[in-house]
Amino acid sequence: MSTRGHAFGIDIGGSGLKGAVVDLATGLLTHDRIKIATPQPSTPAAVAAAVAELVAAARWDGPVGITMPTVVLDGRTRTAANIDHSWIGTDASALFSAALGGRTVTVLNDADAAGLAEDVYGAARDLDGLTLLLTFGTGIGSALLYNGTLVPNSELGHLDIAGVEAEHLAAASIKDREALTYPEWAQRVSTVLSHIEDLFWPKVIVAGGGISRDHEQWIPLLTNRTPVIPAVLKNTAGIVGAAMAIDLGLAP
C-alpha cells in the first residue's frame, strides 16, 4: 500500500457513524473522530444522508471508505446486523456515491476493515502467515488475512458449534446477558477458538471489540493453542481500515 497521503474512513454501527481523515503513513487520525447518531430506523436513504452530513462536517472532498455491519459483495450489502433489514440487497456503493455527489466510494465489512488496520498498523503488524481478527461485541465479527491479503466476509461468528452459533455462545453480549464471570466466559471463548483454529490454523488471533480493553482479565485464561493478542487500535480500527480500503484499491 502507499505510505503517502491521507484518506477518509467512516465506520457505520448500529448506534453511531464515526469518521475521520487518516494519515496512511502512520494509521493515525489527523483529528478527533466526528460522530453522529445512526438514524432510526436505519434505512439506506437515512444512513446515506447521515454519511453526507458527516463528510460535509469534515470538509472532505475526496474518495470515502465506508464500513458496514454486513456482508459486502461487489458493493452490495447482503446481510444486515444491527441495521435495518432493508439494506439486504442494496447497492451501497452506488447509494453512498450518489449521496456524496458522485465521488468514489469503497464499502466493506466492518470486521474486515478492523482486520486490515490491525494487520498493518496494530497488533499483527509485521507478522506473516494467516492472521485472524475476532471482534467480540453484540456478535462475533471476523477477518482473515494471509500475508496482508484480506479474505473478505469470513463471518466466523456464525460457525455451528455443537448446534449453537459461535456468537450465541461467546459474544461479549452473551457474557453480559448471562452474567458470566470472566473465567466462565473465557471457557466458552476457548471452545470457539479451538473450533476455528482446527479449521484454519492461524498463526495468531487478534482479539478486538470493547471487551479487549479488559484483556488482562480473560486472555490469560484461554486454553486454545494459538497465541491470542489484544487489538491495539481500539475504536479507530474501523475508520482506519475503511480509509485503507481506498488506498488498497479494494473493489467498490
CATH number at 210 reads 3.30.420.40
Contact 33, 19 (CB under 8 A): yes
Q: What is the mean pLDDT of the chain?
A: 95
Which pLDDT band, with edges at 50, 70 and 90, does 42 fall under?
Answer: very high
The pLDDT of 197-221, averaged and rounded, is: 97
Which pLDDT band, with edges at 50, 70 and 90, does 103 fall under?
Answer: very high
Among the residue ranges 32-36, 81-85, 153-157, the one predicted with the least confidence is: 81-85
* Rounded Cα distance, 206 and 127, in Å: 11
Which pLDDT band, with edges at 50, 70 and 90, does 3 fall under?
Answer: very low
What is the percentage of the chain residues whose pLDDT exceeds 70? Answer: 98
Is residue 134's pLDDT more than 70? Answer: yes
Quick one: cell of 244?
485503507
Count of structural domains, the chain = 2
Is the domain of 95 the same as that of 177? no
The pLDDT of 45-69, averaged and rounded, is: 97
Which pLDDT band, with edges at 50, 70 and 90, does 1 fall under?
Answer: very low
Residues with Cβ within 8 Å of 211's Cβ and at least 6 positions away in sequence, in order, are: 136, 137, 172, 175, 218
Is the domain of 104 the same as that of 172? no
242 within a domain of the structure (yes/no): yes
Contact 191, 170 (CB under 8 A): yes
Is residue 176's pLDDT more than 60? Answer: yes
Is the domain of 55 the same as that of 28? yes
Is the domain of 149 the same as that of 173? yes
Is the domain of 108 the same as that of 132? no
Is residue 135's pLDDT more than 90? Answer: yes
1 within a domain of the structure (yes/no): no
77 within a domain of the structure (yes/no): yes
Is residue 147's pLDDT more than 80? Answer: yes
87 within a domain of the structure (yes/no): yes
88 within a domain of the structure (yes/no): yes
Contact 6, 240 (CB under 8 A): no
Specify which residues 105 forms β-bridges with: 64
100 within a domain of the structure (yes/no): yes
121 within a domain of the structure (yes/no): no
Is the domain of 67 the same as that of 90? yes
93 within a domain of the structure (yes/no): yes
Quick one: cell of 43?
434505512
Residue 80: which domain range?
Answer: 6-112+236-248
Is residue 251's pLDDT more than 80? Answer: no
Is the domain of 190 the same as that of 217? yes
Quick one: cell of 85?
433489514
The pLDDT of 96-108, averaged and rounded, is: 97
Q: What is the DSSP string of the chain?
A: ---SSEEEEEEE-SSEEEEEEEETTTTEESSPPEEEEPPSS--HHHHHHHHHHHHHHHT--S-EEEEESS-EETTEE---SSS-GGGTTEEHHHHHHHHTTT--EEEEEHHHHHHHHHHHTSTTTT--SEEEEEEESSSEEEEEEETTEEE----GGG-EETTEEHHHHH-HHHHHHTT--HHHHHHHHHHHHHHHHHHH--SEEEEESGGGGGGGGTGGG--SSS-EEE-SSGGGHHHHHHHHHHHHT---
Is residue 120's pLDDT more than 90? Answer: yes
What's the pLDDT at 109?
97
What's the pLDDT at 64?
97
Is the domain of 137 the same as that of 184? yes
* Number of residues written out for the chain: 252
To 10 degrees, the CA torsion angle through 250, 117, 102, 72?
A: 60
The pLDDT of 216-238, averaged and rounded, is: 96
Tell me the angle at which helices 92-99 and 44-58 cross, rounded to the nearest 10 degrees. 50
What's the pLDDT at 193?
98
Is residue 82's pLDDT more than 90? Answer: no
The pLDDT of 125-151, averaged and rounded, is: 95
Quick one: cell of 94?
452506488
The pLDDT of 166-193, averaged and rounded, is: 98
